[in-house]
Amino acid sequence: MASVISNFLDTAVGFLWGTPLIVLVLGSGALFTIGTGFFQFKHFGYFMKHTFGSLFDKAEHDTGSGHVSAFNAIATAIGGAVGVGNIGGVATAIAVGGPGALFWLWVAALLGMALKSAEVSLACYYRSYDENGQPYGGPTYYIQKGIGELLPKKIAKIASVLAVIFGVGFASNFFSGVQGYTIAEGFTSAFPVPILVFAVIYSIVVWIIVWGGGKRVVEFAGKIVPFMVVLFVAAGLGVILLNITQFPAALALIFKSAFSGTAAVGGFAGAAASAAIQNGIARSVFSNEAGQGSSTMVHSQAKVEHPVRQGMWGMFEVFVDTMVVCTIMSLAIIMSGVWSSGVQGAALSVSAFGSVYGNIGAKFVAVAILLFGITTQTGWFMYYDVLLRHALKNNISLKNKIITGFKVIYPLPSLITIFYTVQNGLPTGFVWKVTDFFCAVPTTLNIICVIAMSGVYFKLVKDYKARYMGIGKVDPNFKVFYEKDPNEGK
């Protein structure tokens, strides 16, 4: 049975993540890059100043309406993005597609910065307010409202159907269990703890955090994310610096194999250039979530005075996740030489750190995987919570009961995946194929819809440049948000 499922996933993922979606991911990123005048490159200093440079300036990033601070929103979003995809995901990409996968990871991320800014800005612009006056938004909101406006009135209801398709497709990720599995695999590869015992304990910890609801999730992320990113980056740079003589050869291998593939070496079976492209872009989307629509659901709740201001935090999120954390992890794997060992997943990342720091290094990565994983899995709780709130917004009593029930069962898919995978002796790659399968459909739909609403985003960028950057003339009649904030004036 397992072999039948594996064969089906091979075929389905190969099709879903084939040329059409690759072109869509890169093409949409190029569209928003060009349409905004190469904002993420031309105004790199500006958006870094108003994101990273404002981290400790409360007045800078806590203006406007919302019930989550901009800092906690980005911490939750980065916590949801910087996780097992950076440690186990990129390792799998290199193990399967070769070092060339890193090049395509970079390309997808640089263009993805513009795509992420667009979807975050649209999520803030089209956000709605619940019965308590708290804002919520995301793909289901902007698809229903934005696409609904673009369609003729007779068929405008199609937008609601598309929103449902996205919601169901995205919610399917809940059942993959890849987060918990990768965490368990990485942690137990360095510590002598039975994987099933760890799975149970980990599930209880996740349950305790999500039981406190969105408030506890964002507060937890705000405390742990900055610490873990700085520590992990420092340790990764240590691996790179101690193997610095390998840097020229590693860089040459990355660029060469990105276009010509990688020959078999050591335990590495060899890979065509197409494998590098597919794995690099798929892991980029899963890691930084540009185009996936996921982190827009927490960004939309931020205290922000203009949608594009939060969109810049989306750019920053992709930059930190991929251009910093993923790059350091990938270079550590390639330059340490373990990439061709035949090992896959989080265990490959553990090997890279272990090659320099020994047993302590392996344990450090295992703990990092645990911290990254907890913030990722609890951060994704916020996303599912938003989907449920949108789907049940007209029935407050039922909404509250289902959200409470969801908190109870939230850790179960990861726990079941670990038990099932261990029981059947399935490889790490199998679990990631399941994730790729569930991720492809909603990602495709989301990107198409964001492209359709590109005109709205470009108007928002034009308005932002005029209001805050002194570029162009301000239109006093332009509506910065689609819906009026019910808390305004209170």
pLDDT tens string 385-440: 878 887 777 677 777 788 788 888 887 877 777 777 666 665 555 666 666 777 77
- How far is it, in rounded angstroms, from Cα 205 to Cα 220? 12
Give me the residue spans of the domains in the chain: 2-468
What residues contact 408, with CB distance under 8 A and at least 6 apart? 207
What residues contact 375, with CB distance under 8 A and at least 6 apart? 76, 79, 80, 82, 83, 220, 221, 224, 225, 228
pLDDT at 59: 53
Q: Are strands 135-136 and 128-129 parallel, antiparallel or unpaired?
A: antiparallel
In 3D space, the residue among 332, 341, 350, 424 whose CA is nearest the CA of residue 185 turns out to be 350
Average pLDDT over residues 328-334: 89
Average pLDDT over residues 20-41: 90
For the chain, first and last CA: distance in Å? 60
Q: Could you read off the pLDDT of 184-226 as tens digits, one per residue? A: 776 777 788 888 888 888 888 888 888 776 566 666 666 676 7
Of the candidate ranges 9-23, 62-76, 83-97, 333-347, the one whose mean pLDDT is the lowest: 62-76
pLDDT at 364: 80
Q: Could you read off the pLDDT of 31-73 as tens digits, one per residue? A: 999 999 999 999 999 988 888 776 655 555 555 554 555 565 6
Token pair in block for residue 248: 């020229």
Q: Could you read off the pLDDT of 149-182 as tens digits, one per residue? A: 888 888 888 888 888 888 888 877 777 666 677 7
Q: Could you read off the pLDDT of 128-142 as tens digits, one per residue? A: 887 777 888 889 899
pLDDT at 5: 63
pLDDT at 125: 94
- How far is it, in rounded angstroms, from Cα 185 to Cα 187? 6
Q: Could you read off the pLDDT of 260-306 as tens digits, one per residue? A: 877 666 666 667 777 777 778 777 776 777 888 888 888 888 888 89
Class of domain 2-468 (CATH, top level): mainly alpha
In 3D space, the residue among 419, 9, 3, 348 whose CA is nearest the CA of residue 180 turns out to be 419
Report the b/e string of 243-270 with b at 16+ CB within 10 A.
beebeeebbebbebbbeebbeeeeebee
Average pLDDT in the chain = 80
- How far is it, in rounded angstroms, from Cα 437 to Cα 167? 15
- How far is it, in rounded angstroms, from Cα 31 to Cα 363? 43
Percent of the chain scoring above 70 in pLDDT: 80
- How far is it, in rounded angstroms, from Cα 98 to Cα 273? 9
More confident residue, 482 or 466: 466
